[in-house]
Amino acid sequence: MSRRTFALAILCAPAIAACTLFWPIEDFALRTDDGGTAAGSDATSDGATNLDAADGGTSFAVEQLATVDPSPRLLAMNATHVFVLGQTETVQRVGRESRVVETLSTPKTGVNGAALTMRDLGADSQSLYLVANEASGCGAPATAWKAPTFDGGTFTGVIGAQCGVMTALANDALDFSFVLEATAGSTLFSHPLLGGGNVTLAFALPKIVAATSRPEDVYLASSTDKKIVRVPKSAAGADGGVDFAAATSAPRDLVADAEFVYWIEVDGRVAKKSRVAPPAEPAIVLATEPTGLTHLAQDSVRLYFTNLVEGTVRAVAKAGGAVELVAGAQAEPLAIAADDRGVYWVNRGSGAVMRAVRQ
């Protein structure tokens, strides 16, 4: 594996809310919140439809919110904006109400002067988080920038990092955590949102493709070892973390709430497990979908997932039940985010940011 420098960037803003994080499909990483279901008509230019659930239950109004730079692959969301990143490696924000598209100042080169490839994107009420890998060698540590606003402020500050490849990022109310993959294995770092240096939470981890966090724990999805790993924040410096759940195939993305961890797998399985369950307890299968699942999100009652192969967005209740179709005929849907106000995703094939609202 080639060794590259990575960069972790934070772009700050006035009070907003909520956080979602996602990675490129080429790297099998993902993560965040919310979604819907149905089947119907009234298509827009990007396949948006007003859909009724096949079982006659809930329905969603689906629409195209905006068109952004070509091939959008990363998405994050807070209470007021959706943030996306495409092939230009530039972050754009879209007003959830205004629909206005703005291009934000985004770092283009790393500490060695080589171009950056963005790997993950996240947002909360104060900051925009951006993780990138530099294509050059490891002659210098990667940098992390912080801008005073979302309005194109200059990135400043250095958080510090190590030689390697960044693979996943997660943040909660207390910390943001990130995974660095190197020759000796992956390492999970945590950085307090209120300031302070990086803390090594776990090392000698397997290949990690996605992460999600709660104030007490970080959960990691390993594609090579086909498992979910739990890393307690109280046990900094742990070797390898704690095996939390076994997967039947490579996990692709995961989210967590106060009670459960939820994940999707490459073979189409959607599963959950109680956060307090012992490692040997089997997961609960919520759905078995066609292969092609890429990203996962949640709201307070449902899980939402995109299927790149099918071109669909679907949902299933966290408590279990029938899978609902939120939207079909989507042009390569990838990253997805949600809250109880609606579900948002990007279509890589058309450059569209889509929205579905439960009616």
pLDDT, tens digit (0-9, with 9 covering 90-100), for 110-167: 777 778 888 888 888 777 887 777 776 665 444 544 443 455 555 544 355 567 788 8
* Edge-first strand listing for the sheet containing 242-246: 208-213, 217-222, 227-232, 242-246
pTM across the whole model: 0.85
65-100 burial code (b ≥16 CB/10 A, e <16) = bbbbbebbbbbbbbebbbbbbbeebbbbbbebeeee
Q: Judge whether residue 328 has pLDDT over 90.
A: yes
Is the CB of residue 134 less than 8 Å from the CB of residue 141?
no
DSSP code for 254: E
Q: Tell which residue, 27, 71, 38, 34, has the closest CA to residue 344.
A: 34
User: What count of residues does the chain have?
Assistant: 359
Strand, coil or helix: what is 27?
Answer: helix
Strand, coil or helix: what is 259?
Answer: coil
What number is the average pLDDT over the span 180-194?
85
Sign of CA dihedral 322, 326, 328, 331: negative
Q: Which two tokens stand for residue 125?
A: 């009420």
pLDDT score recorded for residue 49: 45
Is the CB of residue 250 less than 8 Å from the CB of residue 269?
no
Q: Delineate the domains of the chain, giving CATH numbers in brackets.
A: 5-358 (2.120.10.30)
DSSP assignments along 200-240, one per residue: EEEEEE--EEEEEE-SSEEEEEETTTTEEEEEETTSTTEES
User: What mean pLDDT value characterizes the chain?
Assistant: 81
How many whole angstroms separate alpha carbon 223 and alpha carbon 179? 14
How many whole angstroms separate alpha carbon 231 and alpha carbon 121? 21
Strand, coil or helix: what is 26?
Answer: helix
How many whole angstroms separate alpha carbon 201 and alpha carbon 197? 12
How many whole angstroms separate alpha carbon 219 and alpha carbon 229? 6
For tokens 């070797």, the residue is: 239
Beta bridge partners of 82: 77, 94
**Cβ count near 102 (within 10 Å):** 14
116-125, 143-152, 175-184, 280-289: least confidently modelled range: 143-152
Q: Tell which residue, 281, 280, 230, has the closest CA to residue 254.
A: 230
What would the pLDDT profile of 91-106 be if each residue is shown by its tens digit? 899 999 999 999 987 8
Non-local (6+) Cβ contacts of 149 within 8 A are 12, 13, 14
More confident residue, 138 or 18: 138
DSSP code for 3: -
pLDDT score recorded for residue 154: 53
pLDDT score recorded for residue 104: 86
